[in-house]
């Protein structure tokens, strides 16, 4: 269900028009959008049924609505598919290309040893408390805001945190989609 197969990442080099997206069969759709929610191709497999999409923002809303409709256990499951920020996978160079770029944009690849240690300790406490990793949209935050957010969100109740984390997944997903689909391409225009 959470297959981690090969996806056709296009990463903005050659963004798709919405017309091309709307003509995709589900296999191609999953290949193109299977990682807009990290390691969760199930989301793309479900959202395909909502086509035709009006534009990139409408496509992002469909993913967002799917995540919103999941019960707390499903939201927690999606969070568990995310790598720790500046964690073991990042240090081993084993993140997906999307996560690598996102974590670098927040400056997480240039932390001091002290910052890295703080992040590791807070991540550990967070995962021990909630049973899923801390997730935040790294492209919308810098490392200081992330460290602060981690400390603050550690105080939240588990249900609040599953919802907060899922909302961050929606932001990450939207930005990944906007890299893949031309933002000005619309169902009712020739672009
Ligand atoms: N844990 C976590 O927030 N991971 C991520 N956030 C993001 O923007 N990209 C990630 O890999």
Residue 90: DSSP 8-state: H
CB 125 within 8 A of CB 154: yes
**Residue 191 tokens, joined:** 């672009």
Q: How confident is the model at residue 115 (pLDDT cuts 50, 70, 90)?
A: very high
Output 86 or 34, whichever has higher pLDDT: 34
How far apart are the CA of 118 and the centre of ligand 1, in A? 17
β-sheet bridge partners, residue 16: 181
pLDDT recorded at residue 24:
98
- Can you identify the CATH homologous superfamily of domain 83-171? Oxo-4-hydroxy-4-carboxy-5-ureidoimidazoline decarboxylase (1.10.3330.10)
**Residue 80 tokens, joined:** 């568990």
Prediction ipTM score: 0.98
Is the Cα dihedral 87, 150, 96, 98 positive or negative? negative
Nearest-atom number in ligand 1 for the CA of 133 is 1
| Euclidean distance between CA atoms 136 and 168, whole angstroms | 5
How far apart are the CA of 120 and the centre of ligand 1, in A? 14
């Amino acid at each position: 269900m959470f297959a981690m197969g090969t996806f056709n990442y296009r990463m903005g080099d050659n963004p798709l028009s919405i017309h091309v997206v709307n003509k995709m069969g589900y296999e191609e759709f999953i290949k193109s959008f299977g990682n807009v929610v990290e390691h969760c191709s199930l989301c793309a497999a479900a959202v395909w049924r909502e086509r035709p999409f009006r534009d990139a923002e409408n496509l992002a809303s469909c993913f967002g609505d799917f995540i919103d409709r999941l019960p707390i256990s499903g939201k927690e499951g999606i969070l568990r598919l995310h790598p720790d920020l500046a964690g073991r996978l990042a240090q081993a160079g084993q993140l997906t290309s999307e996560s690598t770029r996102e974590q670098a944009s927040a400056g997480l690849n240039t932390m001091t040893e002290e910052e890295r240690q703080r992040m590791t300790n807070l991540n550990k406490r967070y995962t021990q408390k909630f049973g899923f990793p801390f997730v935040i949209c790294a492209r919308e935050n810098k490392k200081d805001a992330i460290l602060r957010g981690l400390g603050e969100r550690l105080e939240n109740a588990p249900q609040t945190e599953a919802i907060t984390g899922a909302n961050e997944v929606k932001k990450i997903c939207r930005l990944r989609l906007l890299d893949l689909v031309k933002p000005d391409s619309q169902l009712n225009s020739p672009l």
